[in-house]
Chain A
């Protein structure tokens, strides 16, 4: 059958199971857009800025476990995607991004809206393609999905010149994928798994540190089985949050720069660290040379280049964490660690990292607590980066798997609005709360129009402190409270802003109003924005300064360390 390149793109996307695309048209990609009406099963969501398309595809991908798809035109359309692509790469999120390019004959001539997007995205994609022959499109799209969503997932960009969209070729369903240089390992080495089981058996003070890999491979049951069978406390990374229910008796928080003190201390005192699908990020290790100094380390990761990158493992196992845990669970022995769990309880008592100070002021943390309580820890929470992110991660009690979407590795402000939109598209009947700061929210708030247009009932909680709060906190602690360029004195009236978009807006200034506002937002059929005017100089505690150790931890002065 003869088909045009643009038709082959649509046909190939549908064949890969894609039925939603986020994007904005423009000159170079127009032939693809003009083909969309022929493919009614391919729903296109028109965003307001390409960064929103990439983040929305990211949110969609994390919720569904399938690659999120974004379209953008050449030049500025493509470069606007860059932050979203880089964020997806850092957090191992599968995306397939299709960009229009100038006509192939014009490439290299600095034509109107030409940019070398494959060159630009080379270090921030898992792989990318420039397609110069419409006959290659079907194969390339198939390979793009395969690469994006196997092994360690990541974004793949496919750049297609305008004339290639228009070129008519014989369409053939692509055959088996042939990528001789790409064969991710999924099954772990049996000998290494045996060694891991032996280390677990020999350990008196084991901890599991579960990362994003556990969520990506949906290894929730396997993780729970291992933890319960060998009675091992479970700590998660920031991106691992929600891979293990936080109301479980073995849940032991998350460690690192703003994690719970007891989690960092448990790691410090442990004699065995079982790292599952995590990469020993600097926000967790602080000084990697002094991280978990007393423990042997089992490191399970699907990406061999993560093994030994930051921390040397005693037993590395390359492969899919779900497969490996399933094999490990078969041979690991039942165990109890009563003394160790008692010690962790003591650490929790001595370091009540989540205790709120006694105050009548409206704290950002209080807002998160109340949302958590009212939603019973079962909403999908989406955050950007900063204080609101840390408070959401600390004070929301996540009970459902894969229910925190946050920009972890890249720390992208502005992720919270479009990613929440993508999460809601992926799960139309789910309750999605975007917990935002007033800074990040303003970076991508244009997507409120997309949310209204598509009748997406996202609930927004802006923790509005009139500051780039986390940066202000660093200025307070490390630069003698010299608040250079962090105060937002010109913030809009967010309630009226919401109303201007046709969204219900609520303002909360008092801690006694939080719960009723949250309930009102949930019962409202449609998107709602709540502007919480929170305490301006509230800090995130605990805090381990960059590159330091758990011994340097700063705990909240008014709550502090409780010594028995």
Chain B
């Protein structure tokens, strides 16, 4: 049961009803689970949203998170994609201080990270970056040397690679063979 605490990515397909986010966040709070990030948006089906959670904990904890998510009536499907080949992305906007002297250096860094400068004003730039969490972390760290005024991140969204539509729901594995 005890193993290294790691980061797990869980996605959930939920009914797009008022109060669903409240139910889910209430469950996390009540059971004492840690969410590192949470992203919500519409899914491919009308009336259904897809959420991506990045959760910290050992695998037993993450399994309990998934089971308790699944227990909510409005949660239709829960998948832990941590162990699967998955694409995970986050978008961040970073307002960074930039004078005439530093601007070109910042632009070089932005280039290397395949990020974009989306706004320029007297003394600051807004950098838009997309990537996995590590990439965003690295860029923000590098930009700190110039002075970061504001950071806004969406939280991770993730999708498993390949043709199959998500993996199998975590809790359905319990009703099958688990030994």
Contact = CB atoms under 8 A, between A and B. Distances in A.
Interface of A: 118-119, 122-123, 126-127, 130, 147, 179-182, 185, 189, 191-192, 195, 303-305, 307-309, 312, 315-316, 318-319
B73 A318 contact: no
B76 A305 contact: no
B75 A118 contact: no
Interface of B: 1, 14-15, 19, 22-23, 26-27, 30, 60, 63-64, 67-68, 70-77, 171, 174-179
Nearest to A188: B175
A308 B63 contact: yes
A130 B20 CA distance: 13
Nearest to A313: B178
B73 A307 contact: no
Contacts of A307: 67, 174
B73 A181 contact: yes
A122 B23 contact: yes
A182 B73 contact: yes
Given A119-B22, A126-B73, 17 more contacts: A123-B30, A180-B15, A180-B76, A181-B14, A181-B74, A181-B77, A182-B73, A189-B175, A191-B177, A192-B178, A195-B179, A303-B71, A304-B175, A308-B60, A315-B179, A316-B178, A319-B175
A118 B15 contact: no
Contacts of A185: 175
- Top 9 nearest A-B pairs (CB, nearest first) are A305-B67, A181-B76, A127-B73, A185-B175, A304-B174, A182-B73, A180-B76, A318-B175, A304-B67
Contact of B19 (A118, A182, A309): A118
A179 B17 CA distance: 13
Nearest to B27: A123
A316 B174 contact: yes
A304 B76 contact: no
Given A185-B175, A308-B60, A122 B74 contact: no
Contact of A179 (B19, B73, B178): B73
Given A122-B26, A189-B177, A315-B179, A147 B63 contact: no
A147 B73 contact: yes
B70 A304 contact: yes
B68 A305 contact: yes
Contacts of A147: 73
Nearest to A187: B175
B7 to A, nearest CB: 20
B171 A304 contact: yes
Contacts of A189: 175-177
Contact of B64 (A180, A182, A308): A308
B133 to A, nearest CB: 28
Nearest to B179: A195
A312 B74 CA distance: 28
Contacts of B23: 122
A126 B63 CA distance: 20
A123 B31 CA distance: 10
A144 to B, nearest CB: 11
A318 B76 contact: no
A123 B57 CA distance: 22
Nearest to B69: A305
A292 to B, nearest CB: 16
Contact of A181 (B68, B75, B176, B178): B75
A402 to B, nearest CB: 26
Contacts of A192: 177-179
Nearest to A156: B73
A456 B14 CA distance: 46
Contacts of B19: 118, 122, 130
A108 to B, nearest CB: 12
A309 B15 contact: no
A152 to B, nearest CB: 9
Contacts of B26: 122-123
B22, B71, B76, B77, most chain A CB atoms within 10 A: B71
A312 B174 contact: no
Contacts of B77: 181
A136 to B, nearest CB: 12
A473 B164 CA distance: 61
B115 to A, nearest CB: 38
B22 A122 contact: yes
Contacts of A180: 15, 76
A305 B71 contact: yes
A181 B22 contact: no
Nearest to A147: B73
A305 B73 contact: no
A351 B68 CA distance: 40
Contacts of B75: 181
Nearest to B19: A118
